[in-house]
Amino acid sequence: MEAITVLQTNPINSYLEQELDKRFNLIRLWNFPADQKEDLFKEEENKRDIRAVVTNPVVPTDREFIDSLPGVEIVSSFSVGLDKIDLGYCKEKGIRVTNTPDVLTDDVADIAIGLILATLRRICESDRYVKAGLWKKGDFKLTTKFSGKKVGIIGLGRIGTAIAKRAEAFNCPISYYSRSQKPESKYKYFPSVVELASDCQILIVACPLTEETRHIINREVLDALGPKGFLINIGRGPHIDEPELVSALVEGRIAGAGLDVFENEPHVPEELFGLDNVVLLPHVGSGTVETRNAMADLVIGNLEAHFNKKPLLTPVV
């Protein structure tokens, strides 16, 4: 393959970076100071030579960014989420877009179940209890059972379905909300998130982030979930109106929350830090060595397929 210049927007994964370096002329955008980044995009040679962008949901691939690189033919995202990429504008400009679905489904579904168990059974708090030497002074308080709880899932795609299958193993009745009812699904469908929240004890957010799903978890939904209900989010931070969630937790209007994602990552509302009924993770749903390597392989495979004029492995646009 000819020497093709690829721009990586930010540090993502060391294995990915190494493999890109082997195959392409890799430009690491984060190594350029702010003033030099402007020079990079101003130079006609650079603008023309950069034919691919590798990115993830941290850095927006918006209209301005796309226009700054007129030679780009493909954007390969190290993520299943596409909310930071202007897909419509990429399509208009004839730029291909790929992501990394399927390979991270199991890990994200596993972390959802882990968050449920950690939140309901107070696993993190129990760990601190033992390490602080408090067990010698008395037994830990009773917690809440997971098995048999009614589970509601927002979004019954690959990840939502994988979560549902795992929850079934805990004898949990499953219901869901999505844009449209899925005739092939055996789970109970609700036409609104409020109705779903009213009927379940554990509400899980597992849908893509779009304008329609931004703040899909609002005060009305939290109140419908109620003081015995738990919220789990492994989707995207902006799915939740965070100030409303903080209020609901502080005031006891819901029982607890397990969160892997936040609206302004890595910034997390500090009001959550002192709450024992909340489990906070640093967006690690797909964070295993095996899955991140598989995601990297998909990114590279899509780039190689594009430049070898073969069908893309996971095309979006």
Domain for residue 315, yes or no? no
Structural domain containing residue 85:
5-101+290-307
> How far is the CA of 235 from the CAs of 38, 56, 59, 121, 155, in angstroms?
33, 15, 17, 22, 9
Catalytic residues: 236, 265, 283
CATH number at residue 96: 3.40.50.720
Question: In the chain, count of helices (H) and strands (E)?
Answer: 12, 12
The predicted pLDDT at position 48 comes to 77
CB 274 within 8 A of CB 249: no
Domain for residue 239, yes or no? yes
Domain for residue 139, yes or no? yes
Return the closest-CA partner of residue 76 out of 283, 310, 313, 237: 313
The predicted pLDDT at position 93 comes to 97
Domain for residue 245, yes or no? yes
Q: What is the mean pLDDT of each run of 10 residues along the chain (317 residues)?
A: 88 97 95 75 73 94 94 96 95 98 97 98 98 98 98 98 98 97 97 98 97 97 98 98 98 98 96 97 97 98 98 97
Please give the tally of structural domains in the chain. Answer: 2
Say yes or no: 32 and 162 in one domain. no
pTM of this structure = 0.94
DSSP string covering 170-185, please?
TT--EEEE-SS--TT-
Say yes or no: 92 and 158 in one domain. no
Say yes or no: 300 and 178 in one domain. no
Q: How many CA atoms lie within 13 A of 246 on its CB side?
A: 12
